[in-house]
Chains A and B, each alone.
Chain A
Amino acid sequence: MGLLSRLTATIKAKISKLLDMFEDPRETLDYSYKRQLELQQEIKKGIANVVTSKKRLEHQKTKLESSVNSLNEQAREAVAVNRDDLATLALERKKQMMNQIEALSTQIQDMKLEQDRLMDMDKRLATKVEIFRSQKETIKAQYSAAEAKVRITEATAGIGEEMADVGFAVQRAMDKTEEMQARSEALDELIEQGVIQEFGTDKTRVEMELEKIKDEADIKRELEIMKQEVKR
C-alpha cells in the first residue's frame, strides 16, 4: 500500500466510525455539527497560541538586537583604549548573538506561516459549517425519503474529512508552539547563565574591564591633582 492510499484509508476509517456511532442517522448529523462547533473553538485557541509564541520570539529578538548594538559600542571603546583583547571578546559575543537573531527570524517566519494557515482553515471551516447546518435541516425534514440516509452519509463523510484536516492542522500548530516554547526557554536560560549575557541586567566582562580602565584613569588623575596640591 502506498503512502497516499494509506493516509486516505486511515482518515476514512475514522469517519466511518463516526457514521456508525448512532442508530438513527439524524443523530449523526447533530453530533457531527456539535463537533464542528467545538473544532471552531479549538482552531481559535490554536491561533491564539501561535500568536503568543510569535510575540515571545519577537521580544527576544528585540532584546538581542539591542545587545548587539551595545557590544558594538563596547568593542569601539575597547579599541580606543588599545585593548584589542576586550574588543575581540565583545565581537565574539556579538557574533554569537547575531547567530541567535538569525535563528529567531526563521522561527518567527515559521510561526507567521502557521498563523496564516490556521486563519485560512478557520475561514474555510466557517463556510462549510454554515452550509452543513442548512443541509442538515433540509435532510432531517425529508427524512422519510430513502435517499435521505445516503445524503446523510455523504454530508457527514464530506464534513468529517474537513474536520480531520482542521484537527490535524491544530495539532500540528500546537506541537510547533510547544517546540518553540522549549527553545525559547532554553534561550532565556542561556541569556541568564551569561553565555550570551543579557545587556542591562548584568554587566558583561568587557563592560567591567572598560569601567575598570576608566576608573583607573580617574584615580590616576585625582592622584596627580593631590600630588600637585601637596607640593604647593
Chain B
Amino acid sequence: MIIRILNENQYIVPSLYLDEINEIDNEIVRCIAKSDSEGFKKKYAELVEIVRSNGIPMDPATIKESDLIIPPADVTFEEARNIFIGEGLIPG
C-alpha cells in the first residue's frame, strides 16, 4: 500500500498496518471532536511514526498514485480541523 505524507514523500507500507492506522485515525477524529489539541498532536505523531518506520520511501523517479494521503507531519490542530469543514486542506 502506498501512503503519501504530504510535504514529505510517498512510502510503501505493508498492508498489515492498515488496521492500526485506522484505529489511530478514529482516535484522531475523537480528539478533533473534543477539541483536544494535545491528544491530537500525540496521536498524529504516532501515526506518522508507523508510516516512517515501517514504510520504504518511494523512489522520487516513480510517478504513482497513493492509496492513502495523510497530512504533513507538522500539521496543526487548526489545519486538521479544516479538513473536516469547508474546503479542506487543498484549496481550489
Contact = CB atoms under 8 A, between A and B. Distances in A.
Interface in B9-28: 9, 21-22, 25-26, 28
Contacts of B63: 128, 131-132, 135, 155, 158-159, 162
A230 interface: no
A136 to B, nearest CB: 11
Interface stretch (A5-13, A21-29, A77-85): A5-13
Interface residues of B, number: 31
Interface in B52-70: 60-61, 63-70
Contact of A7 (B7, B9, B88): B88
Given A164-B90, A165-B4, A7 B60 contact: no
Contact of A127 (B28, B60, B70): B60
A106 B80 CA distance: 23
B90 A4 contact: no
Q: Which residue among B61, B69, B83 has the maximum number of chain A CB atoms within 10 Å of its CB?
A: B69
Interface string A98-141: 00000000000000000001000101100110011001000000
B66 A127 contact: no
A210 B15 CA distance: 73
Interface in A155-187: 155, 157-159, 161-162, 164-165, 167-169, 171-172
B7 A10 contact: no
Contact of B69 (A7, A158, A159, A169): A7
B83 A6 contact: yes
Interface string A1-45: 011111110110010000000000000000000000000000000
A154 interface: yes
A168 B89 CA distance: 7
Most buried by A among B7, B25, B61, B63: B63
A7 B22 contact: no
Given A3-B71, A4-B21, 16 more contacts: A2-B26, A2-B29, A4-B69, A5-B25, A7-B71, A7-B83, A8-B69, A10-B88, A11-B90, A155-B63, A161-B4, A164-B90, A167-B92, A168-B7, A169-B7, A172-B7
